[in-house]
Amino acid sequence: MEMTSSPPLSLRRFAAVLCGLALLLAAAVALSLAFGGGRLDLAAAWGDTASPEHDILFYSRLPRILLGVIVGFALSSGGVAFQSLLRNPMADPYILGVSGGAALGSVVAVSLGLAFTWVSSVAFVSALASLLLIYWIAQTKGRLPVYTLLLTGVIFNAFSFALIMFINSLVSFEQAHRIWYLMVGSLEAESYGKIAVTGGFVLAGFLLLFLHAGKMNLMALGDSSAQYLGLDVEKFRRHIFFAASLMIGATVSLSGLIGFVGLFIPHMVRLWLGSDHRLLLPASALFGAAFLVLADLAARTVLSGSDYQTQIPVGVLTALIGGPFFVYLVKKPSSRGAW
Residue 70 sits in a domain of what CATH number? Answer: 1.10.3470.10
- pLDDT (0 to 100) of residue 175: 83
Q: Which phi-psi region, left, alpha or beta, contains residue 228 (left: φ > 0; alpha: ψ -120 to 50)?
A: alpha
- Residue 207: inside a domain, yes or no? yes
The answer to whether the CB of 29 falls within 8 A of the CB of 294 is no
Q: pLDDT of 270-314, one tens digit each?
A: 989 988 999 999 999 999 999 999 999 998 888 765 556 677 889
**CA 301, chain centre distance (Å):** 22
- Residue 173: inside a domain, yes or no? yes
- Residue 4: inside a domain, yes or no? no
Q: Does the pLDDT of residue 247 top 50, yes or no?
A: yes
Nearest Cα residue to 261 out of 41, 49, 82, 16: 82
- pLDDT (0 to 100) of residue 7: 63
Helices 314-331 and 261-273: angle between axes, nearest 10 degrees: 40
- Residue 92: inside a domain, yes or no? yes
Q: Which residues pair with 10 in a beta bridge?
A: none
- pLDDT (0 to 100) of residue 117: 67
124 vs 158, which has greater pLDDT? Answer: 158
> Which residues span the domain enclosing 273?
11-338
- pLDDT (0 to 100) of residue 333: 60
- Residue 100: inside a domain, yes or no? yes
Q: Does the pLDDT of residue 337 top 70, yes or no?
A: no
Question: First and final CA of the chain: distance in angstroms?
Answer: 5
Contacts of residues 159-162 at CB distance under 8 Å and 24 or more positions apart, as own/partner, are: 159/100, 160/97, 160/100, 160/101, 160/103, 160/104, 160/130, 161/100, 161/103
Q: pLDDT of 125-142, one tens digit each?
A: 888 889 889 989 988 877
How many residues appear in the chain? 339
Instruction: Report the predicted TM-score, pTM, of the whole model to 2 decimal places.
Output: 0.87
Nearest Cα residue to 282 out of 205, 215, 206, 212: 206
If you ran DSSP here, which 8-state letter would residue 338 be given? G
Q: How many domains does the chain have?
A: 1
- pLDDT (0 to 100) of residue 26: 97
- Residue 6: inside a domain, yes or no? no
- pLDDT (0 to 100) of residue 331: 72
Q: pLDDT of 179-236, one tens digit each?
A: 887 788 888 867 888 899 889 999 999 999 999 998 998 887 877 888 888 888 888 8
